[in-house]
Structure 1
Amino acid sequence: MSAAGRSSNRPGVRSTRGRPVRGGIQRSPRRWLLPVAMSVVTVLVLALYYSPILGVRSVQVDGLAAVPERTVLDTAGIELGNPMLQVDSEAIRSRLGAVPEIADSEVHLQWPSTVRLEITERVAVAYVPADGPGESGVRLIDAAGVPFRTVPRPPAGLAQLRLGDDRADGVRTAMIALTALPADLRAQVTEVRAERPQNLFLVLAGGRQVHWGESTAADRKAAILVPLLTRSGQVYDVTSPDLPTVA
């Protein structure tokens, strides 16, 4: 047996291309670098989570028109100095959702120290007389049918809703019709009669009426109504979009 063959059988010796390598298995330093790196990252994350080093220094509010900024800040409940990583965006959005005038909100963390609140306010498209205990004036209603604010008098360009016993269905049907109309035509609607939600009437400035009927095919009815109103008449019937009439 040759010397090379004998050396390959000796303990602690490995042959690499015929060259003996002594010292047994050598461990790579990469095996302990990963655990150390993970430990360092964990310590840093914990330090940032509990430390005020990257704490909230300011709160910015965007999108306000009617809601006071102080109302938003107080409701959001964001404490200055708290670590940014402890800001609970969903909890903040939930609290802001309790403000009647706010339709939606978004919470953005702007590092290193600013929380930005993006607010979407409700926009009134109709109103009903305020009828709560001790209330006077009118209640504004947005496109989703949500009453959200009481004001002393109706703003210009809004339609009054006249509702029957089924108020919820009446509001829903009225909103479907109003939001289907182009903005300039909607501004001409002074009244929506929804005493019977499935037999809706719109009253326009000047006294002309639109017999809308059910809430179905709202977009088609609105598209037909625009040219139909160029014809002389007092009652414009779009209950059947295939057979609109003017009387």
Structure 2
Amino acid sequence: MRRPTHPRRYPRHPLDEDLRVSRRRLGRPRRNRRRRRIPLLVWLLAILTVEVVAVGLKDPRFNLARIEVQGVEVLTEEQVVRRSGLRPGKNLFQIRLKEARQRLLEVPAVADVTLHRRLPNRVLVRVHERQAMACVAAKNALFTIDATGIAFRKDAKPPRGLPLVTGLETKPLQLGGRIDAERARELREFVEAAAEYPQRGVPRISIDQNGNLCFNSAELGYQVRLGPAVQLKEKLALLAALERSLPDIRDRCQYIDLSCLEAPAWKPKKVALATNDHAGESRPVAPSGETLHGRGGFAQD
């Protein structure tokens, strides 16, 4: 006869059941004590927090006494404090820093700003101003714009060290306003590309309604027509190569047209007329080493 594979079960003794019940009963009070301790600690911490806040709101040592401003160049510290709405004497914990930040962000010259409480009685204001990219001649005035095209400063005359942009005089501009996004992108790309050639000085940039660029500067001495704002780095590199190959181009050239990289062109300055004393006639005089049809291997207009 086959034996069963499952283990044989014996009846439980009544004492074993009583031991299990007693163990459960002994363990319950411990758990209950732990559960009672946790809410008690929470209540104590809550009461302590309320007391600290109440003391902080009433203690004059926490009244705002000083406002520190960092990162301003276009604005003054007084302007920042006035526009923020912060007033000395108010309790530090009652000041609404979010509202003060929102008021400062409405200032055209402010790109971003952060405010921090510094115990016991200070507020630190860190201002990130817009960085000037160019001065734009609009219909109504001159404005300094940043890389995104936002006008954040009104100028009586072009600031030193900034390129002057013309060709946008058809529309008025206001502080906090923005020029056309495409024109701003073209200007930004040109300024970034021209930064590699600081020896040319601060350029005067002209941009037409089709986005064609040309520039000039006192150091350069002639006009450079770049055409559409594409391949600007390549066009300026070609201009540098032409200047190296023609060291006297400043005295000879009226403008260089780099609209097409494959076919650059240039126009010489007006040719002087010399008088033939023997025949009483005038004849054109070409500069030494240059024909009237241009030189240097690129076309003459």
The answer to whether the superposition gives a TM-score over 0.5 is yes
- Name the amino acid aligned to 2:191: L
| Greater gyration radius | 2
Q: Which residue of 2 aligns with 1:215?
A: 229
Paired-residue identity, %: 24
Q: Which residue of 2 aligns with 1:18?
A: none
Aligned partners of 2:257, 2:42: CA distance in 1, in Å?
72
* Alignment equivalent of 1:38, drawn from 32, 37, 42: 42
Aligned length: 233
Find the residue that maps to 2:29 and give its secondary structure.
Answer: coil
**Per-residue deviation at 1:213?**
2.6
**Cα-to-partner distance string for 1:62-121 (whole Å, 9 max, x where unaligned):** 011231111101111234455555554443332112112222222233344432111122
Q: Which residue of 1 aligns with 2:69?
A: 61
Find the residue that maps to 1:170 and give its secondary structure.
Answer: helix
Task: Tell whether the 8 Å contact from 1:143 to 1:179 is kept in structure 2 after alignment.
Answer: no
Aligned pairs for 1:125-204 within 5 A = 125-129=133-137, 131-132=139-140, 138-164=142-168, 165=170, 168=180, 169-182=182-195, 185=198, 188-204=201-217
Task: Tell whether the 8 Å contact from 1:8 to 1:14 is kept in structure 2 after alignment.
Answer: no
- Name the amino acid aligned to 2:195: P
Task: Tell whether the 8 Å contact from 1:161 to 1:193 is kept in structure 2 after alignment.
Answer: yes
Aligned partners of 1:26, 1:157: CA distance in 2, in Å?
81
* Alignment equivalent of 2:22, drawn from 10, 13, 17: 13
Instruction: Considering fraction of residues, name the structure with more strand.
Output: 1
Task: Tell whether the 8 Å contact from 2:57 to 2:93 is kept in structure 1 after alignment.
Answer: no
Once structures 1 and 2 are overlaid, which stretch shifts more, 186-195 or 227-236? 227-236
- Name the amino acid aligned to 2:186: T
Aligned partners of 2:199, 2:93: CA distance in 1, in Å?
46
- Gap runs ≥5 in structure 1: 16-21
**Per-residue deviation at 1:33?**
3.0
TM-score (ref. length: structure 1) = 0.72
Alignment of 1:100 with 2:108, yes or no, is: yes
* Alignment equivalent of 1:51, drawn from 52, 57, 61: 57
Aligned partners of 2:129, 2:75: CA distance in 1, in Å?
8
**Cα-to-partner distance string for 1:193-238 (whole Å, 9 max, x where unaligned):** 1123421112132333333333344455556655554443444555
Task: Tell whether the 8 Å contact from 2:69 to 2:124 is kept in structure 1 after alignment.
Answer: yes
- Gap runs ≥5 in structure 2: 1-12, 172-178, 267-301
Find the residue that maps to 2:53 and give its secondary structure.
Answer: helix
* Alignment equivalent of 2:29, drawn from 26, 29, 33: 26
Distance 1:171 1:109, change over 3 A: same
Find the residue that maps to 1:210 and give its secondary structure.
Answer: strand
TM-score (ref. length: structure 2) = 0.61
Aligned partners of 2:200, 2:49: CA distance in 1, in Å?
55
- Name the amino acid aligned to 1:158: L
Q: Which residue of 1 aligns with 2:285?
A: none
Find the residue that maps to 1:175 and give its secondary structure.
Answer: helix
